């Protein structure tokens, strides 16, 4: 059993007064463009074909391309005349290089160095003298991860929930959806903030299950590795009489199913996920910006990862991680995902979040007891985010 650091956070939060827009995240040191020096999923591996692709991560324009067995990521701007590299192509297959579509300046995918200026001929003096920023790349769980930062990249495994990093035991099926919001509003939706009980209660996934308990007490503890928080929800009610208004929710006779999946809450300590696989709780937030929603069986976990595009846009990846359980079981999981879950959860359920989040423009906030998890996470993230060891170390810009 893991020792648990339960904190009386509910009391802390009540003192939060109305806070204006800029202060909302600034006071915790949570940057508008995302935490740098982390690995982020950029796209699914199978969406990258022979043509290079342009992505935008943390406000940086990046071209990602595939050549032979390698996947590479470079700054998407040729230093010569400023053309994007992403409409370019690999003129020398197998070399791991990409050529600018304007004059054929050719850059090494690994180092970013200019290795040829095609139209200037083989004796071009400029070769090896200039370059573009290169980004560390890793392919895991069917996703292409890119490290955006100013230091030496740690192993990508450091930034992944354990099961995502273990292809022998797990496989993943993912989809990314763009939100017209800053990434922080998307992450605010991750902790136990009691929105699920209200926003999703009539989603196809939950409509026939008992109403999830609300007005719970939220506690949390460090994840091993100092890169996240494990959340626990205690107590709560399913229904209440609100003075002067009436009962909420009203009697809903169609909620007759036994709770399964996400609705199967409570008693995590007795679950297989906890006892066999060491997953501390049903909800775990990790730096820089992802959440794991587990199942008691431990056979399936959903990871949601908010990837900052720029100040006003975010890609939310729904990463569905299944425990490998033989060829037939895996086939079943794939069928079930593509025919049902991708639509019902990744589209409809997540779409309910998207609707409210995109209708929450920046401005002041007035937090309350139910935001205990939110405040805990902001504080934790601001204090524990990875930072370069010294200010001058590890700059990878080759230019």
Residues in the chain: 399
Contact string 370-389 vs a copy of itself (x = CB under 8 A): xx------------------
* Helix (H) or strand (E) run with residue 299 in it: none
Give the interface size with a copy of itself as a residue count (CB under 8 A): 65
Shortest spacing between CB 318 and a copy of itself, in angstroms: 20
Nearer Cβ to a copy of itself (201/280): 201
Chosen residue from 37, 106, 182, 292 binding a copy of itself by CB under 8 A: 106
8 binds a copy of itself (CB under 8 A): no
Among positions 115-154, residues that touch a copy of itself (CB under 8 A) are 115-122, 124-126, 130
Chosen residue from 36, 194, 323, 378 binding a copy of itself by CB under 8 A: 194
Stretch that binds a copy of itself, among 138-146, 318-326, 340-348, 352-360 (CB under 8 A): 352-360
3-state SS class at 94: coil
6 binds a copy of itself (CB under 8 A): no
Contacts of 88 (CB under 8 A, 6+ apart): 52, 63, 98, 99, 100, 101
The distance in angstroms from the start CA to the end CA of the chain is 51
356 binds a copy of itself (CB under 8 A): yes
CA distances from 69 to 50, 110, 148 (A): 12, 13, 22
Chosen residue from 2, 56, 84, 110 binding a copy of itself by CB under 8 A: 84
Nearest to 149 by CA among 19, 87, 59, 241: 59
Stretch that binds a copy of itself, among 98-106, 303-311, 375-383, 390-398 (CB under 8 A): 98-106
28 binds a copy of itself (CB under 8 A): no
Nearer Cβ to a copy of itself (244/326): 244
* Helix (H) or strand (E) run with residue 105 in it: strand 105-108
86 binds a copy of itself (CB under 8 A): yes
Nearest to 175 by CA among 379, 354, 386: 354
Shortest spacing between CB 355 and a copy of itself, in angstroms: 6
CA distances from 246 to 77, 199, 250, 303, 353 (A): 60, 19, 9, 37, 26
Shortest spacing between CB 357 and a copy of itself, in angstroms: 8
Chosen residue from 82, 168, 327, 328 binding a copy of itself by CB under 8 A: 82
The runs of H, that is alpha helices, within the chain are 9-14, 23-26, 183-187, 196-199, 272-275, 326-336, 350-358, 372-384
The answer to whether residues 271 and 222 touch, using CB atoms and an 8 Å cutoff, is no
Shortest spacing between CB 21 and a copy of itself, in angstroms: 8
246 binds a copy of itself (CB under 8 A): yes
Q: Which two tokens stand for residue 296?
A: 């008691």
159 binds a copy of itself (CB under 8 A): no
Whole-angstrom distance, CA of residue 332 vs CA of residue 340: 11
Whole-angstrom distance, CA of residue 22 vs CA of residue 184: 12
Chosen residue from 6, 22, 207, 215 binding a copy of itself by CB under 8 A: 215
Stretch that binds a copy of itself, among 87-95, 141-149, 253-261, 377-385 (CB under 8 A): 87-95
Chosen residue from 355, 389, 395, 397 binding a copy of itself by CB under 8 A: 355
Chosen residue from 8, 49, 243, 267 binding a copy of itself by CB under 8 A: 243
214 binds a copy of itself (CB under 8 A): yes
Whole-angstrom distance, CA of residue 173 vs CA of residue 325: 15
**How would you class 79 by CB atoms within 10 Å of its CB: exposed for 0-12, middle for 13-18, buried for 19 or more?**
middle
Of the CA atoms within 13 Å of residue 181, those in its CB half-sphere come to: 22
Binding site for a copy of itself (CB under 8 A): 14, 18, 77, 79-84, 86-87, 91-92, 95, 97, 101-104, 106, 115-122, 124-126, 130, 188, 193-195, 197-199, 214-215, 237, 240-246, 248, 355-356, 359-371
């Amino acid at each position: 059993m893991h020792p648990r650091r339960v904190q009386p956070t509910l009391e802390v939060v009540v003192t939060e007064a109305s806070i204006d827009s800029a202060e909302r995240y600034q006071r915790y040191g949570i940057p508008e463009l995302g935490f740098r020096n982390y690995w982020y999923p950029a796209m699914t591996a199978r969406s990258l074909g022979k043509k290079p692709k342009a992505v935008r991560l943390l406000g940086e324009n990046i071209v990602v391309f595939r050549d032979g067995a390698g996947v590479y990521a470079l700054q998407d701007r040729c230093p010569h005349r400023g053309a994007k590299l992403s409409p370019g192509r690999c003129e020398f297959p197998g070399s791991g290089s990409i050529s600018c579509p304007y004059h054929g300046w050719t850059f090494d995918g690994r180092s970013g160095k200019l290795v040829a200026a095609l139209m200037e001929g083989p004796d071009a003096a400029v070769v090896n003298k200039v370059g573009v920023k290169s980004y560390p790349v890793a392919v895991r769980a069917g996703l292409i991860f890119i490290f955006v930062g100013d230091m030496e990249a740690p192993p990508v495994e450091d930034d992944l929930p354990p099961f995502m990093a273990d292809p022998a035991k797990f496989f993943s099926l993912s989809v990314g959806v763009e939100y017209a919001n800053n990434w922080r509003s998307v992450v605010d939706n991750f902790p136990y903030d009691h929105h699920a009980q209200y926003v999703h209660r009539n989603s196809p996934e939950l409509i026939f299950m008992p109403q999830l308990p609300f007005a719970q007490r939220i506690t949390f503890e460090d994840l091993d590795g100092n890169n996240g928080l494990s959340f626990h929800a205690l107590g709560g009610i399913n229904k209440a009489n609100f003075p002067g208004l009436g009962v909420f929710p009203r009697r809903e006779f169609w909620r007759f199913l036994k709770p399964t999946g996400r609705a199967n809450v409570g008693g995590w300590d007795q679950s297989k996920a906890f006892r066999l696989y060491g997953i501390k709780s049903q909800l775990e937030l990790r730096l820089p910006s992802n959440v794991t929603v587990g199942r008691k069986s431990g056979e399936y976990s959903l990871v949601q990862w908010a990837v900052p595009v720029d100040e006003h846009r975010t890609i939310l990846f729904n990463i569905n991680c299944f425990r490998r359980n033989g060829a037939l079981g895996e086939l079943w999981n794939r069928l079930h995902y593509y025919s049902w879950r991708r639509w019902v959860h990744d589209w409809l359920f997540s779409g309910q979040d998207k609707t409210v989040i995109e209708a929450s423009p920046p401005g002041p906030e007035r937090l309350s007891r139910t935001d205990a998890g939110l405040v805990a996470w902001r504080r934790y993230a601001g204090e524990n985010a990875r930072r370069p060891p010294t200010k001058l170390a590890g700059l990878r810009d080759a230019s």
